[in-house]
Amino acid sequence: MSDEGDRSIRPCSRVEIERYFTLALFLGHNASSASPFASYQTQCLAIVQARRLWQSHDMRVSFFFPVVLLAGCLFDGAAQYGGTETTWRLVELDGAPFTARATLTFPKRGRIGGAAPCNGYGADMVASYPLFRAERLVTTRADCPALDEERAFLHALEAVSRATRDGDTLLLTDGDGREMLFKADG
């Protein structure tokens, strides 16, 4: 049988199991989303391996397995951003006031959406707080005088990689100094 047609599950090493659970904890692994870590789910049976190690009384897995499992099951990324009811309004882009109206919401786990200056938009959220990564961004296609501001907003939204929330302020940044400062719209 060729490697291409073989979909059997191979056993995992202890390091792979720990890596899987670390990624699940810190990146909010969601099996239904396409992510670079989804291959862990199909390539190895980490949960069964972890359970076997747990039953053999390996202390590291015995302690971390239930903690990581519960964290992965109970984590709701939207809560870290103020919940599904919070609408964030962009007030500054790269340190300059943003005069057009643009919003960001977290309507459900794994999704973002809102209003750009001209169009509505939505995207998949493929990282968990404090990481931020929007993919597969889609917008409506209306024309308006603020298209330049809209392009700047959407490009910045796709570029940022980190989120910091402090009360009614949300700051999205990237490694190159790009900043998007949002205030809770209320």
Domain limit, last residue, from 34, 55, 75: 75
Shared domain for 18 and 46, answered yes or no, is yes
Residue 7 included in any domain? no
Non-local (6+) Cβ contacts of 138 within 8 A are: 121, 122, 123
Which amino acid is present at 53? Answer: L
Q: Give 92-117 pLDDT, tens digit per residue.
A: 999 999 999 999 999 888 899 999 99
Domain span at 86: 79-184
- pLDDT exceeding 90 applies to what percent of the chain? 44
C-alpha span between 2 and 10 (Å, rounded): 15
pTM of the complete model beyond 0.75: no
Read off the pLDDT of residues 15-49 as tens digits, 9 standing for 90 and up: 666 665 555 544 444 433 444 444 333 334 445 45
Same domain, 70 and 146: no
